[in-house]
């Protein structure tokens, strides 16, 4: 089957010369052929994501075309005049894939709204809602290395496509002949005929208006005293992040020149991920000359942002948990002071994010909801509030992987609003003579030294998928009774929605969607969570600890992490 598929692609995949060249180059390499054809990239709630190249297990115009045909048939099944919005980032072939998807949608009678240049993922979520579309897609692989690209699909609510809809799309894709059954048309002709419409500046300005309206600054803020170094990491954040900072009065923004322009090869940041220090190296070097208050880095599709803050003459990177806790506290503090905190405010975090925010929310009388990993689950909570006419109660949502949102104007994480709020927050506390490091320490002293960290183990290829599956199976069959000397109190298996109390063997129901996640509640406030990534060939585990001081909490987390890795046996 694999070799038959290879031969078929060699014969028919002629629309992109890069694919033909690649297929010919692996003619005698069975391992390479196997890796490209042993499976199909599976369309799920996260859409598609994979290595760019030839084959059913790769991102190319044929797999993108099949996904688009499936999505087109889905929207045609739910409305008589369907509309779809499209955005793309700076990745290799992102513009090609976006235009090809647009041509497929147009050929299927779907009106397309396409951003004419690269745009952040949150701007796609905004356009879907603003233009009253039935779906949307963004071509991106977020913060993955340059060899990857992806296809994220959204529903009419601006959230990532739900399970039922994604399963419908997948059922269509599985029936398609990838070369014979994909409708398409000439892109330029479709634009001229009005079947593909280019999104204008009015939509961009409406988005920026929505972001700016969530500011919690007032006239007392001295933004002229702020200096920021910003890097878009060769991605889509360059224009909108700079635009929103200018709007609120931060004009002293120095952009890292080597990383300013779009480049899908990411020559200065092989891992364009603001979670890691390497992505900040150019900004940190520039900081020696510019001496800013703050460093900002957004990932290629500008839905995540990382920061570094000057403290004791050195720049320190802050984690997603640090920034999430700081932002929630800042928003609650400012809205309380301004008298704009809604009655019964709601914040949302994922189960793998720091428990420090639980204490902060409780102190302000803010309801804190916990959801599964993935920002779509935070978006769903906003939707549930909107359906009750209570979306204004939502003040903040975040996940530890550097994703934040304040307000209901989009339903995905947004590095543009996060950049604005972080700069505001830095300015606010600077006027009080405090760095963000010092503010975080004050939160620890007030609420407790909560610490959490994450580790990933990469498992690429067919063998890697099997290793991850076996590791999860082994943990389910032989749950650790203790981890690093900490007794296991509860085992939560989100795939069965069961919470098992080990001492009594009693079970209770977890009221969240089913997911391939295992959580271990340990004594002394410690814990561990394990899950395979939904978008990368990795198995991830998250460690939680509480200490008498930050160093003791970090030390405890390190011990638990090392022991947890042994249990995974990868």
Asked if 345 and 364 count as a contact pair (C-beta separation under 8 A), the reply is yes
Residue 194's φ and ψ, nearest 5 degrees, are 80, 10
Distance CA 121, CA 144 (A): 15
Distance CA 70, CA 172 (A): 5
Longest dimension (CA), the chain: 70
Chain Cα centroid distance, residue 10: 35
Torsion of CA 145, 150, 154, 158, to 10 degrees: 20
Beta strands in 27-147 (DSSP E): 48-51, 83-88, 111-114, 135-139
Q: Which two tokens stand for residue 27?
A: 């003619």
**Sign of the CA dihedral 354, 512, 414, 263?**
positive
The structure tokens 């299927």 sit at: 108
Distance CA 559, CA 555 (A): 6
Residue 521: enclosing H or E segment and its boundaries? strand 518-522
Asked if 547 and 449 count as a contact pair (C-beta separation under 8 A), the reply is yes
Cβ burial 1-14 (10 Å sphere, 16+ → b, else e):
ebeebbeebbeebe
Chain Cα centroid distance, residue 304: 6
> Which of 68, 125, 142, 401 is flagged as catalytic?
142
142 is catalytic: yes
Asked if 171 and 58 count as a contact pair (C-beta separation under 8 A), the reply is no
Asked if 158 and 167 count as a contact pair (C-beta separation under 8 A), the reply is no
Helices 238-248 & 201-212, crossing angle to 10 degrees?
50
133 class by beta-carbon count within 10 Å (0-12 exposed, 13-18 middle, 19+ buried) = buried
Q: Which residues pair with 482 in a beta bridge?
A: 487
SS3 content of the chain, % helix, strand, coil (to 5): 40, 20, 35
Sequence-ordered alpha helix ranges (H) in 302-408: 320-338, 356-363, 375-387
* Residue 182, number of CB atoms within 10 A of its CB: 23
The structure tokens 């509030």 sit at: 385
Which SS3 state, helix, strand or coil, does residue 532 take? strand
**Sign of the CA dihedral 125, 129, 130, 134?**
positive
Query: Based on C-alpha coordinates, what's the Rg of the chain?
Result: 24
Torsion of CA 547, 553, 557, 558, to 10 degrees: -140
Residue 166: enclosing H or E segment and its boundaries? helix 163-173
Distance CA 568, CA 570 (A): 6
Active site residues per annotation: 142
């Amino acid at each position: 089957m694999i070799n038959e598929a290879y031969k078929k692609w060699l014969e028919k995949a002629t629309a992109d010369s890069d694919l033909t060249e690649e297929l010919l180059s692996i003619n005698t390499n069975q391992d390479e052929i196997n890796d490209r054809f042993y499976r199909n990239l599976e369309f799920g709630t996260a859409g598609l994501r994979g290595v760019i190249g030839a084959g059913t297990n790769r991102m190319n115009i044929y797999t993108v075309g099949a996904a688009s045909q499936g999505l087109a048939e889905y929207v045609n099944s739910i409305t008589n005049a369907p509309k779809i919005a499209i955005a793309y980032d700076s990745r290799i072939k992102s513009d090609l894939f976006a235009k090809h998807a647009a041509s497929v949608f147009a050929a299927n009678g779907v009106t397309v709204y396409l951003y004419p240049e690269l745009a952040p993922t949150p701007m796609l979520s905004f356009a879907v809602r603003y233009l009253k579309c039935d779906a949307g897609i963004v071509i991106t692989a977020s913060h993955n290395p340059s060899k990857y690209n992806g296809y994220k699909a959204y529903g009419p609510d601006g959230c990532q496509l739900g399970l039922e809809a994604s399963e419908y799309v997948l059922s269509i894709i599985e029936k398609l002949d990838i070369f014979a059954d994909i409708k398409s048309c000439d892109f330029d002709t479709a634009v001229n005929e009005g079947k593909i419409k280019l999104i204008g500046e009015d939509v961009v300005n409406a988005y920026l208006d929505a972001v700016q309206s969530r500011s919690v600054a007032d006239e007392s803020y001295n933004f002229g005293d702020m200096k920021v170094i910003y890097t878009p990491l060769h991605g889509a954040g360059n224009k909108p992040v700079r635009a929103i900072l200018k709007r609120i009065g931060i004009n002293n923004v120095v952009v890292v020149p080597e990383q300013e322009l779009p480049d899908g090869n990411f020559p200065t940041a092989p891992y364009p991920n603001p979670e890691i220090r390497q992505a900040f190296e150019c900004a940190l070097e520039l900081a020696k000359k510019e001496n800013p208050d703050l460093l900002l880095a957004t990932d290629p599709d500008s839905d995540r942002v990382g920061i570094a803050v000057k403290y004791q003459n050195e720049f320190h990177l802050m984690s997603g948990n640090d920034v999430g806790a700081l932002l929630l506290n800042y928003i609650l503090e400012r809205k309380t002071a301004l008298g704009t905190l809604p009655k019964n405010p709601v914040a949302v975090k994922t189960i793998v994010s720091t428990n420090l925010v639980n204490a902060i929310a409780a102190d302000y009388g803010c309801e804190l909801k916990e959801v599964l990993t993935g920002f779509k689950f935070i978006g769903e909570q906003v939707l549930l509030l909107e359906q009750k006419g209570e979306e204004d109660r939502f003040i903040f949502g975040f996940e530890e992987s550097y994703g934040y949102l304040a307000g209901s104007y989009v339903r995905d994480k947004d590095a543009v609003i996060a950049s604005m709020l972080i700069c505001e927050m830095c300015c606010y506390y600077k006027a009080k003579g405090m760095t963000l490091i010092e503010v975080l320490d004050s939160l620890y002293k007030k609420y407790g030294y909560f610490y959490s960290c994450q580790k990933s183990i990469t498992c690429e290829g067919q063998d890697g998928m099997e290793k991850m599956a076996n590791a999860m199976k082994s943990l389910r069959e032989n749950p650790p009774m203790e981890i690093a000397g900490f007794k296991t109190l509860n085992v939560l298996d989100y795939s069965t929605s069961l919470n098992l109390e080990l001492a009594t063997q009693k079970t209770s129901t977890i009221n969240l969607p089913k997911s391939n996640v295992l959580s271990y509640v340990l004594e002394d406030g410690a814990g561990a969570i394990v899950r395979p990534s939904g978008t990368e060939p990795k198995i991830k585990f998250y460690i939680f600890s509480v200490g008498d001081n930050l160093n003791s909490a970090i030390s405890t987390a390190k011990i638990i992490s090392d022991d947890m890795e042994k249990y995974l046996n990868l």
